[in-house]
Amino acid sequence: MKKTGALIIGGSAGSLDVLLKVLPQINRHLDFPIIIVIHRKQGTDSLLTDLLTHRTNLKVKEADEKEAIRDGYIYIAPSDYHLLVEKNFTFSLDYSEKVNYSRPSIDVTFQSASDVYGPRVVCLLLSGSNADGVNGLIFAKRNGGITLAQDPSSAQVAYMPEQAILKANVSEVLKIEEMANYINSLSTNN
């Protein structure tokens, strides 16, 4: 099995509840990073980091400019910045125009991570009310990556995963209760 390079999780309205259910079940010895891009209001950065830190055994931190991406960490995209993955496996933050009315944009992170990790990227799109992330899933799949969507029947706001299934031909659709096992199975440390 090919080693997973990175798991990128994107979501909007309703996605935090999913993360709070899934992250506590993630293996503490993951051999890849998890990068989370959630649409949220400015000024909620430390609250989200603190909340997720208390729900998982993995290290959780907000991604910083030029920071090296390390396995076993959960990185959170800062509010009001696009988060890009660079070829040297570091982050860069970008303040360019919004994409799909969003900054950070899930599409931007999915696409830049796919450029770097190619077929070793896994992109998961959760609950949300716009189509941000769908073009990124299409791009990731074209580059050989694994693309996943939350089962819309389990989403608080089904539009985002519905669009992913409809337009991006995702590799798999996961119920909330299936996500942790799926993520853990991506690690070679199981």
Question: pLDDT tens-digit profile of 87-107?
Answer: 999 999 999 999 988 999 999
* Residues taking part in catalysis: 12, 39, 132
The pair of structure tokens assigned to 102 is 């969003």
DSSP 11: E
| Whether the predicted pLDDT of 118 surpasses 60 | yes
pLDDT digits 0-9 by tens, 147-170: 999 999 999 999 999 999 999 999
Q: How far apart are CA 71 and CA 84, in angstroms?
A: 17
pLDDT in tens, 40-72: 776 555 688 888 999 999 999 999 999 999 999
Structure tokens at 81: 């910045």
Q: What is the residue-wise DSSP string for 125-175? A: E-S-SS-TTHHHHHHHHHTT-EEEEE-GGG-SS-HHHHHHHHHH--SEEE-
Q: How far is CA 95 from CA 36, 65, 80, 117, in A?
A: 18, 12, 7, 23
Written as one letter, the residue type at 109 is T
On the question of pLDDT at 15 being above 60, the answer is yes
The mean of the pLDDT values for the chain is 94
pLDDT higher than 50, residue 189? yes
CATH top-level class of 6-185 = alpha beta
Mean pLDDT for 4-25 is 96
Adjacent-strand bridge partners of 83: 93
Can you tell me the distance from the alpha carbon of 19 to that of 82, in angstroms, rounded to the nearest whole number?
20
Residue 1 has pLDDT above 60, yes or no: no
| pTM for this predicted structure | 0.96
> Is pLDDT above 70 for 179?
yes
32 SS3 class = coil
25-37 tens-digit pLDDT = 999 999 999 999 9
